[in-house]
Amino acid sequence: MHGYQLRAAFEESTGGTWPLNIGQVYTTLSRLERDGLVHPLPANDAGQRPYEITAAGRKDLAAWFATPISRTDRPRDELAIKLALALCTPGVDVRAVVQTQRSATMRTLQEYTRLKARADQEVELSWLLVLDAMVFQAESEVRWLDHCEASLIRYTSPPASSLDSQAQPATDADTEVEQEVPR
């Protein structure tokens, strides 16, 4: 396969969720060639140079598939850091931060699900599995946010100053004392 074919094949199987720059494809190919993992074949009439995987490349690939991805290789979780900082920054409404994120993640989850509903379950299996990966990741984020909210309710009490207007027992069921949040 030559570079453009590789890119097309990659994007087709991942549903375009990870668009590749063609320059990036060729840089990677030349690095792989330097390391002896692929080797170039003669150019075709259109001047495109197909590449072929070498025995060493095949071995490397097999090892990649066989090795689990370490969680520490992934980028830092900005959301976890944001919540941690929100908790120790005065004046930040942490529960609102949680709810805002949860709604946004839920909306994303709905979008993924809509894409799933549209996909053909037999023809587009690889795309559906990529979508499922995103669905499960988003779902776990929502579950974690639910957990954070429950912990916030349990372990933090609103400061007295924010309760002054609503500290009386509720006479009307409309009163949302529980909704008051620390300021």
The verdict on 164 binding other proteins (CB under 8 A) reads no
Dist CA 16 CA 19 (whole Å): 6
Q: How far is the CB of 85 from other proteins (least distance, A)?
A: 20
Nearer to other proteins, 35 or 111 (CB): 111
Dist CA 23 CA 164 (whole Å): 62
Nearer to other proteins, 32 or 135 (CB): 135
Dist CA 95 CA 180 (whole Å): 10
The verdict on 79 binding other proteins (CB under 8 A) reads no
Nearer to other proteins, 38 or 109 (CB): 109
Dist CA 43 CA 34 (whole Å): 18
129, 143, 156, 167: residue in contact with other proteins (rule CB under 8 A)? 143
Q: How many residues form the binding site for other proteins (CB under 8 A)?
A: 32
Contacts of 126 (CB under 8 A, 6+ apart): 13, 14, 15
The verdict on 139 binding other proteins (CB under 8 A) reads yes
The verdict on 113 binding other proteins (CB under 8 A) reads yes
Dist CA 182 CA 179 (whole Å): 10
Percentages (nearest 5) of helix, strand, coil residues in the chain: 60, 5, 35
Question: Which span (7-15, 54-62, 83-91, 131-139) binds other proteins, by CB under 8 A?
Answer: 131-139
CA 119 and chain centroid, separation: 20
The verdict on 146 binding other proteins (CB under 8 A) reads yes
93: left (phi over 0), alpha (psi -120 to 50) or beta: beta
Question: Which span (10-18, 21-29, 68-76, 140-148) binds other proteins, by CB under 8 A?
Answer: 140-148
The verdict on 31 binding other proteins (CB under 8 A) reads no
Interacting residues toward other proteins by CB under 8 A: 93, 95-96, 99, 102-107, 109-110, 112-113, 117, 135-136, 138-139, 142-143, 146, 149-150, 170, 173-174, 176, 178-181
